[in-house]
Amino acid sequence: MYNSLFEKIENSSPLDFGDILNKSITLFKKIWVQGFVHLLITIAIVIPLMIVIYIPIFALIGLSGFENGYSEYGSSEYPIDELSIGLMILFILLVFIMSIVATAFQFGITAHFYRICRQVDTGIAERSGYFMFFKGKYLGKLFGIAIATFGIAILATLLCYLPLLYVMVPLQLLGVIFAFNPDLSVTDLIKASFKLGNKIWLVAFGLIFVSSMLAQLVGMLLCFVGVFFTAFFVYMPVYYIYKEAIGFDNTEPEEDKLLVE
């Protein structure tokens, strides 16, 4: 599967910017409700994770108030400073862990959305639920992808942000490549996303940028609430990039059978 995927990337034809954008708009008209549902599921999980992150901050604020209040009545040997440092370390660890969990969850939900895109676009039956990737070996792979993505983004940021602009395209492609090749290793998935990203970077970047702007603009025109309905439009061009560059088999992929058992 790995060699076949790389051969398809190597032999892929140039992408048509206008054609992909038009197809993306047409498909999104049919699938915007599913995009909204996937967004609600993501929000329902991510918001509690963000709340957990702020628990150490509230604890630090409480300790600060305790220390200031106690100083009015005299000094204390209570190790407030040591607790504050400990809570700060806890906060950093929580931010890292919750960011990984949130990223992994988002990858899984987005991957399922790509499968729905294929179902509506091509008519290939998709019998699995929203959490099809949150089971068995795919769950561990999601966390592996999340950690790798987090590491790549941090490294690119440390290199004066400019590389972050470059890696944005491969990281966006990583989700759709995982969606249709979930049996590949994390390393192979990342290699494939960068190989495809390198080949079509300019067109892919343009499509991602334009689709993001359209999603925000149309959402704001719909009294800002519309952003919730248009947010997933950015994934439409990414889906068609994969379809045009790599394509799908005529038969139902083997991973579909595995995921619905």
Give residues with Cβ within 8 angstroms of 232, minimum separation 6: 28, 32, 35, 36, 38, 39, 113, 215
- CA 63 – CA 40 distance, rounded (Å): 35
Q: Are 240 and 24 in contact (CB under 8 A)?
A: yes
Residue with the larger pLDDT of the pair 60 and 158: 158
What's the confidence (pLDDT) of residue 259?
A: 44
Encoding tokens for residue 174? 């990583």
What's the one-letter identity of residue 72? E
pLDDT single digits (tens) 215-239: 999 988 877 788 989 999 999 999 9
**181 CB contacts (<8 Å, ≥6 apart)?**
1, 5, 189, 192, 255
Kindly indicate the confidence band of residue 138, based on its pLDDT and cuts at 50, 70 and 90: very high
